[in-house]
Amino acid sequence: MELADKAVGFLLTAISISIFVYYTFWVIILPFVEKDHFVHEYFLPQEYAILLPVFAGVALLSFLCVFVGFVMIKSNNKKKSA
Amino acid sequence: MNMKHILKILALLVVVAATWITLLETSVVPHHYTWLLPVYLVVSLGCYGLLMVGVGLMLFPTCPQEAVLLQKDIVEAKEFFGRRGVDVGSD
């Protein structure tokens, strides 16, 4: 159990660091690299740097709202039956 | 203590907003790059939160030797109460 927690923690840390490094490189450093450099092949066009986080945020928010709604419905049903 | 923290965060937000607005107004950097700054900050904040949760999970303090001592204490206390006729339930 403890080991699984540690593994999940390590996974979260690794994911967050890699997202941060990739996004920093994409947004901050890439505009200063020439247009025909081979590095550009590994990144989506610049518009996606806004679109993807906004889409992820909207998805996260909707998921949270659905989750909270489900929990509220469940607790309401429990109160009625009790 | 809590109030100070809020003030610090608010000051940071004001500074960031001021920098952003100046960048937008003076257009030192092309506009579509300036628009990326808040999104970048939000993404960094999310990454920071995820990192803190991950590090907290990884370094969660556990003390197995204390658990053993506690179990010993429980057994001892049960014996003590059992001898004096107090019912503390079975394991």
Of A5, A16, A50, the CB nearest to B47: A16
The H-or-E segment that residue B65 falls in is: helix B64-83
**What torsion, rounded to 10 degrees, do the Cα atoms A50, A30, A25, B43 define?**
-20
> Nearest residue on chain A to B64, judged by CA atoms?
A2
Distance CA B40, CA A42 (A): 19
| Residue of higher predicted confidence among B23 and B76 | B76
Between B36-58 and A2-24, two packed helices, what is the crossing angle to 10 degrees? 160
By the CB < 8 Å criterion, does A4 face chain B? no
What's the whole-number average pLDDT of chain B?
85
CA-CA-CA-CA dihedral for A71, A72, A74, A75, to nearest 10: 110
Question: Within a domain: residue B16?
Answer: yes
Model confidence band, residue A66 (pLDDT cutoffs 50, 70, 90) = very high
Q: Which of A16, A23, A54 sits opposite B51 (nearest CB)?
A: A16
The per-residue pLDDT for range B9-42, each reduced to its tens digit, is 999 999 988 988 888 788 777 777 777 888 888 8
Query: Quick check: A33 contacting B, CB < 8 Å?
Result: no
The answer to whether B39 faces chain A, any CB pair under 8 Å, is yes
What residue has token string 């690299």? A33
Can you read off the two tokens belonging to residue A69? 């709604």
Q: Which residues contact A8 (CB under 8 A, 6 or more apart)?
A: B54, B57
- Within a domain: B91: no
Print the domain residue range for B72: 2-83
* B31 in contact with chain A, both atoms CB, cutoff 8 A: no
Residue A45 touches chain B, beta carbons under 8 Å: no
Q: In chain B, which residue's Cα lies nearest the Cα of A54? A: B39
ipTM score above 0.90: no
A54 Cβ contact list (under 8 Å, min separation 6): B39
Report how many domains make up chain B: 1
Of A12, A54, A57, the CB nearest to B53: A12
> How far apart are the two ends of chain A, measured CA to CA in Å?
35
Contacts of B53 in chain A (CB under 8 A): 9, 12
Within-domain flag for B32:
yes
pTM, rounded to two decimals = 0.69
Residue B57's closest CA among A31, A10, A43? A10
Count of H-run helices and E-run strands, chain A:
2, 0
